[in-house]
Amino acid sequence: MTKDQHFTALENMYLAAPISELYHPSIEISDSEATIEIEVSEQFFHSAGALHGSVYFKMLDDAAFFAANSLERDVFVLTTSFTTYLTRPVSSGRLRSEGRVVNRNKSQFIAEAVLHDSEGNQIGRGSGVFMRSKHPLSEARGYAT
């Protein structure tokens, strides 16, 4: 399988996940990087009328995760820890999360992600540690070449 086929298969896997039916995301994956976008919806709000922190986490973790999994072509990677910083509230527009791998070794990947609103303002950032699992990508929902 070529790297481009791997990236496409990962994108298909992401979009095939049941939770994607809620967020309707778009995703682009390349070598060590991933970009995810969603449209803000009121169904993602907390009681004060702004985006719930769980959406920030999801956008950041997903972008970092897929940046890491872009470098692993055999098995699903797992998030083992993730630190999230919510830096600005948002209640409308399109969100864009960009993740990239900053370090890797035999057992783990370290990736960072930054989340922006539709005006280009940084609204969150995070970093995580990801490890290889024993779950073959070929058995993951939607991962097909």
For residue 1, what pLDDT is reported?
56
**How is 29-56 classified by DSSP, letter by letter?**
EETTEEEEEEE--GGGB-TTSSB-HHHH
Please choose, from the candidates 96, 99, 23, the residue with its C-alpha nearest in 3D space to the C-alpha of residue 61: 99
Q: What's the confidence (pLDDT) of residue 54?
A: 97
Q: For 107-139, what is each residue's pLDDT tens digit?
A: 999 999 999 999 999 999 999 999 999 999 999
Query: Mean per-residue pLDDT for 58-73?
Result: 98
CA distances for 60 relative to 103, 119, 124, 136, 144, angstroms: 17, 18, 8, 24, 24
Mean pLDDT check: name the lowest of 2-6, 89-93, 125-129: 2-6
Nearest Cα to 31, choosing from 60, 62, 61, 6?
Answer: 6
Beta-carbon-side half-sphere exposure of residue 82 (alpha carbons within 13 Å): 26
- Above 60 in pLDDT, residue 2? no
| Topology given in CATH for the domain delimited by 3-139 | Thiol Ester Dehydrase; Chain A (3.10.129)
Report, as an integer, the average pLDDT of 84-111.
Answer: 97
Q: What is the mean pLDDT of residues 9-29?
A: 97
Model confidence at 145: pLDDT above 80: no
% of the chain with per-residue pLDDT over 90: 95
- Longest Cα separation, the chain: 48
Closest by Cα among 42, 2, 10 to 29: 10
Average pLDDT over residues 3-25: 95
**pLDDT tens digits, 30-41:** 999 999 999 999
Please return the burial class of 145, using the count of CB atoms within 10 Å of its CB with bins 0-12, 13-18 and 19+.
Answer: exposed
144: confidence class by pLDDT, cuts 50, 70, 90: confident
What percent of the chain is predicted at pLDDT more than 70?
Answer: 97
Q: What is the predicted pLDDT for the residue at 112?
A: 98
